[in-house]
A and B are shown apart, each in its own frame.
Chain A
């Protein structure tokens, strides 16, 4: 069973417009959420995160929104740039007993293409 779901395998947007990447989760024990960006032949790199005690976190062009009641989060990129073209992974961490919150559960990723 997939606990973190990214239902859109791909997304294409025009440069300068907004990119919205979505993620749904099923595990109510998740209390920390992260977005990673991955270029081909490279490892994922951390982009932005949000704790479940917040509903929004912003870092420059990137904003993550969390809707706990809907178990949904989204990543907004404004304005989108061609260099943002990559695979974006949503990940979640569960508050763990005995300090096991280091495990991240990942979605399958969404390939974002930003066209010039």
Chain B
């Protein structure tokens, strides 16, 4: 597609439920990133995928968070047993090559845990 697509755009879930957030990167972009923005905070790095290399999961806040990228394209971020502090906007970005240049962000998924 023309841009990075994320779904759903909004998600309200009950505390303790699992959620899945989806990201479709720009076709041909080999690098994919997940960030989140909690209320009043800057964007926080979560995880990075590059081709077939092992992902950098160093930003995941707890073991309730996991992500995968299938076929080098679509990525899913899963949050198990959601907590209220997980409420945030989850942003996915992709880039043609790995590195700090040329990130294109999606519009994000606003997650609200009630």
Residues of A within 8 A of B (CB): 2, 4, 6, 32, 34, 41-46, 49, 89, 91, 93, 99-109
Select A44's contact among B43, B100, B102, beta carbons within 8 Å: B43
Given contacts A32-B100, A99-B98, contact A43 B93 (CB under 8 A): yes
B91, A44: Cβ atoms under 8 Å? yes
B42, A4: Cβ atoms under 8 Å? yes
Given contacts A102-B48, A104-B45, A105-B42, 8 further A-B contacts (CB under 8 A): A4-B42, A34-B100, A44-B91, A102-B31, A102-B33, A102-B99, A103-B56, A108-B40
Which range contains the number of B residues in contact with the other chain?
Answer: 20 to 34
Contacting A at CB under 8 A, from B1-60, are 4, 31, 33, 35, 40-45, 48, 50, 56, 59
A49 to B103, CA, bound (A): 12
A44, B105: Cβ atoms under 8 Å? yes
A32 to B100, CA, bound (A): 8
B75-114 near A? 1/0 per residue, CB < 8 Å: 0000000000000000101010011111111111000000
Q: Which residues of B contact A99 (CB under 8 A)?
A: 98-99
A45, B105: Cβ atoms under 8 Å? yes
B42, A41: Cβ atoms under 8 Å? no
Residue on B nearest A39 in the bound complex, by CB:
B107
A6 to B41, CA, bound (A): 11
Q: Which residues of B contact A44 (CB under 8 A)?
A: 43, 91, 105
B45, A93: Cβ atoms under 8 Å? no
Select B103's contact among A41, A46, A108, beta carbons within 8 Å: A46
Select A43's contact among B42, B100, B106, beta carbons within 8 Å: B106
